[in-house]
Amino acid sequence: MKLLAIDTSAEACSAALLLGGAVHERFEVQPQRQSELILPMMDALLAAAGLRIGDLDALAFARGPGSFTGVRIATGVAQGTAYAVDLPVVAVSTLAALAQGHLRETGHPRVLVAADARMGEIYWAACEADGTGVMRVVGEERVCAAAGIALPPGGGWDAVGSAWAVCGDALAARLGDRLRHVGSAVHCRAQDVAAIAAAEVVAGRAVPAASALPVYLRDQVAWTKARPPHSPAPN
């Protein structure tokens, strides 16, 4: 499989090219520079592999929740690039990708993701690995106060995400003995978006570019579904 994945959903910016069983990634933590970095990252990965966008099997992006501007950048780039060459697209949960990164680093299959959503709230999801080693959200993704998180079933959960540095004490008090360990991962990475997206492509769940939409969770944020934004496509 040849799949290109991108993430600009928070402070980090990354792109990853999955070729068969190998993955090549460009990753930088550069707040507010994602729009200038992401296309050159994509170009560089494709050029190094001797590929063009049209040679890919699919394109994937981290669809949120996350920074409103960051999620829109990834959505626009993915839609515009894929639309130009009629590529199928996979929109991957940013929270599931964070959990996938923890699974990749530690092998632990039960992960609680809490990302700082500002305004006293967090983006929250419980994720578990399926039989193929792909993280899936258990229940629903939510935006809520730390004290209002839905308690996951059973114990043995690890935790990742930027909100643990902001309101970790409140989260730990709410979770009690369900919490096993708080990990260090705070950034979504495109290589983990690619891992989840590859499984979606195999399962036949990739969609046309216009149907790959962002997820913001906050009700007051509206996304107008019109024609796909025509962002410049890498050569």
**Where does the pLDDT of residue 219 fall: very low under 50, low under 70, confident under 90, or very high at 90 and above?**
low
Which pLDDT belongs to residue 227? 37
Residues 75-125 pLDDT 10s: 999 999 999 999 999 999 999 999 999 999 999 999 999 999 999 999 999
Which pLDDT belongs to residue 235? 44
**Where does the pLDDT of residue 226 fall: very low under 50, low under 70, confident under 90, or very high at 90 and above?**
very low
Decide which of 60 and 222 is more confident.
Answer: 60
Residues 147-178 pLDDT 10s: 999 999 999 999 999 999 999 999 999 999 99
Buried b (16+ CB within 10 A) or exposed e, 31-57: eeebbebbbebbbebbeeeebebeebe
Whether the per-residue pLDDT at 58 is higher than 70: the answer is yes
Cis bond before residue 88 (omega within 30° of 0): no
Reduced to 3 states, what is the DSSP secondary structure of residue 132? coil
Which pLDDT belongs to residue 218? 82
Cα distances (Å, whole numbers) of residue 201 to 58, 69, 88: 8, 27, 9
- Domains of the chain, start order: 2-93+188-211 (3.30.420.40), 95-182 (3.30.420.40)
Residues 34-56 pLDDT 10s: 999 999 999 999 999 999 999 99
CA distance 85 to 105: 34
Whether the per-residue pLDDT at 30 is higher than 80: the answer is yes
Which pLDDT belongs to residue 77? 98
Reduced to 3 states, what is the DSSP secondary structure of residue 3? strand
Give the count of alpha carbons within 13 A of 20, CB side only: 2
What tokens were used for 128? 């578990």
Contact 100, 195 (CB under 8 A): yes
Residues 118-148 pLDDT 10s: 999 999 999 999 999 999 999 999 999 999 9
Give the N- to C-terminal CA distance of the chain in Å, as an integer: 19
Q: Is 135 left (phi over 0), alpha (psi -120 to 50) or beta?
A: beta
Decide which of 168 and 185 is more confident.
Answer: 168
Residues 6+ apart with CB under 8 A from 61: 5, 6, 7, 74, 75, 77, 78, 89, 90, 91, 92, 193, 212
Nearest 5°: CA angle at 119, between 62 and 188?
20
Whether the per-residue pLDDT at 221 is higher than 70: the answer is no
What tokens were used for 215? 């997820």
What tokens were used for 101? 């990164």
Whether the per-residue pLDDT at 231 is higher than 90: the answer is no
Contact 71, 64 (CB under 8 A): yes
CA distance 198 to 58: 9
